Structure 1
Amino acid sequence: MSDTAILINTGVAVAAIVLLIVRFKLNPVIALVLGACYLGLSTGLGVEKTVDAITTGFGDIMAEIGLLVAFGVLIGAVLRDLRAIDRLVELLLRRFGPDRLPHAMGLTIATFLQSIFLDVLLIISAPLARAIAPKLGRYGTARMATALAISLECGIVFTVPGVGALALAGLLHVPLGTYLLYGLVVIIPTVAISISLMTFVLTRGWWNPELDELPATTPDEPVRTEGPGAMVARETGEQAPLLLAFGPLLAALLLIAAGALADAVDLHNPVLALLSDPVVALLLGLVGTCLVGHRHLGQSALDASLSRGLRDSGQILLLNGVGGCLAGVIDQAGLGDILGEFFSANTFAPLLVVWLMAAVLHVAVGSVTISAITAAGLLAPLAPVLGVNPVLIALAAGAGSLFMVHLTSNTFWLLQSLLGQTTRGALKTCSVGVSVASVVAMGPVLALSLVL
Structure 2
Amino acid sequence: MIVLHAAIAIAAVIVLILVMRVEPVIALVIGSLYLGLAAGLGFEKTITTIAEGFGDIMAEVGLLIGFGVLLGSLLHALGALRKVVEKLLSALGPRRLPYALAVALSTIFPSIYVDVQLVLAAPLARQAAPHLGRNGLAMMGGALTTGILVGYVFVVPGLGTVAIAGLLDVPLGTMLLYGFVIGPATALLTMLVYSRLLKLGFWNKAKDEVEGAVFEDDTDQGEETTGGAGGSGVAVTERPVRALPRLSVSLLPIVVPLLLIAGGAISEAAGVKSDVVAFLGDPVFALFLGLVGAYVLARRVLGGDRLADTMSKGFNSTGQILLVTGVGGSLGAVIGETNLDDVLSGLFSADAGVPALVTILLAWLVAAVLHFAIGSIAVAGIAAAGILAPIMGGLGIPAEVLALAIGSGALFALQLNSNFFWMFQTLLGVNTRGALKALTFVTSLASVVSLALVMGVSVVV
TM-score, with structure 1 as normaliser: 0.96
> Match of 1:364, as an amino acid?
A
Instruction: Identify the residue that residue 385 of structure 1 maps to in structure 2.
Output: 394
Assess if the C-alpha contact under 8 Å between 2:57 and 2:326 holds in 1.
Answer: yes
Q: What's the secondary structure of 1:205's corresponding residue? A: coil
Q: CA deviation at 1:220?
A: 4.5
Instruction: Identify the residue that residue 132 of structure 2 maps to in structure 1.
Output: 136
Assess if the C-alpha contact under 8 Å between 1:78 and 1:305 holds in 2.
Answer: yes
Pair 1:186-2:182 in alignment = yes
Pair 1:419-2:425 in alignment = no
Assess if the C-alpha contact under 8 Å between 1:407 and 1:413 holds in 2.
Answer: yes
Q: What's the secondary structure of 1:348's corresponding residue? A: helix
Match of residue 436, structure 1, among 437, 445, 450: 445
Q: CA deviation at 1:124?
A: 1.0
Q: CA deviation at 1:427?
A: 0.4
Pair 1:74-2:79 in alignment = no
Q: CA deviation at 1:87?
A: 1.5
Assess if the C-alpha contact under 8 Å between 1:68 and 1:282 holds in 2.
Answer: yes
Instruction: Identify the residue that residue 43 of structure 1 maps to in structure 2.
Output: 39
Which string of whole-angstrom CA distances, capped at 9 and with x for unpartnered residues, describes residues 182-236 of structure 1?
111111111101011111112221111100000123444257489xxx9366443
> Match of 2:439, as an amino acid?
C
Alpha-carbon separation, structure 2, partners of 1:239 and 1:225: 16
Which string of whole-angstrom CA distances, capped at 9 and with x for unpartnered residues, describes residues 166-185 of structure 1?
11100000000001111111
Map 1:283-294 → 2, pairs under 5 A: 283-294=288-299
Instruction: Identify the residue that residue 227 of structure 2 maps to in structure 1.
Output: none
Map 1:276-425 → 2, pairs under 5 A: 276-345=281-350, 347-425=356-434
Alpha-carbon separation, structure 1, partners of 2:104 and 2:216: 22
Alpha-carbon separation, structure 2, partners of 1:82 and 1:11: 46
Which string of whole-angstrom CA distances, capped at 9 and with x for unpartnered residues, describes residues 376-430 of structure 1?
0000011111121011111101101111111001111111110000100110110
Instruction: Identify the residue that residue 141 of structure 2 maps to in structure 1.
Output: 145
Alpha-carbon separation, structure 1, partners of 2:221 and 2:370: 39
Q: Which deviates further from its counterpart, 289-298 or 35-44?
A: 289-298
> Match of 1:193, as an amino acid?
L
Alpha-carbon separation, structure 1, partners of 2:244 and 2:382: 38
Cα 1:223/1:40, change in 2 over 3 Å:
farther
Assess if the C-alpha contact under 8 Å between 1:103 and 1:147 holds in 2.
Answer: yes
> Match of 2:140, as an amino acid?
M
Alpha-carbon separation, structure 2, partners of 1:204 and 1:220: 34
Assess if the C-alpha contact under 8 Å between 2:186 and 2:446 holds in 1.
Answer: yes
Alpha-carbon separation, structure 2, partners of 1:351 and 1:7: 20
Pair 1:31-2:37 in alignment = no
Q: What's the secondary structure of 2:356's corresponding residue? A: coil
Alpha-carbon separation, structure 1, partners of 2:368 and 2:239: 44
Q: Which deviates further from its counterpart, 335-344 or 61-70?
A: 335-344
> Match of 1:414, as an amino acid?
M
Q: What's the secondary structure of 1:45's corresponding residue? A: coil
Assess if the C-alpha contact under 8 Å between 1:185 and 1:444 holds in 2.
Answer: no
> Match of 2:384, as an amino acid?
A
- Segments of structure 1 that go 5 or more residues without pairing to the other structure are none
Match of residue 86, structure 2, among 85, 90, 93: 90
> Match of 2:37, as an amino acid?
L
Cα 1:57/1:450, change in 2 over 3 Å:
same
Alpha-carbon separation, structure 2, partners of 1:32 and 1:404: 22
Q: CA deviation at 1:54?
A: 0.4
Alpha-carbon separation, structure 2, partners of 1:410 and 1:324: 24
Pair 1:113-2:113 in alignment = no
Instruction: Identify the residue that residue 249 of structure 1 maps to in structure 2.
Output: 254
Q: What's the secondary structure of 2:187's corresponding residue? A: helix
Q: CA deviation at 1:279?
A: 0.6
Would you say how many aligned residue pairs link Structure 1 and Structure 2? 444
Q: What's the secondary structure of 2:348's corresponding residue? A: coil
Q: What's the secondary structure of 2:412's corresponding residue? A: coil
- Segments of structure 2 that go 5 or more residues without pairing to the other structure are 223-235
Instruction: Identify the residue that residue 22 of structure 1 maps to in structure 2.
Output: 18
Assess if the C-alpha contact under 8 Å between 1:376 and 1:394 holds in 2.
Answer: yes
Alpha-carbon separation, structure 1, partners of 2:271 and 2:211: 59
Alpha-carbon separation, structure 2, partners of 1:294 and 1:199: 42
Map 1:201-220 → 2, pairs under 5 A: 201-220=197-216
Q: What's the secondary structure of 2:96's corresponding residue? A: helix
Q: CA deviation at 1:252?
A: 0.3
Cα 1:69/1:267, change in 2 over 3 Å:
same
Alpha-carbon separation, structure 2, partners of 1:232 and 1:140: 26
Q: CA deviation at 1:303?
A: 1.4
Assess if the C-alpha contact under 8 Å between 2:120 and 2:221 holds in 1.
Answer: no
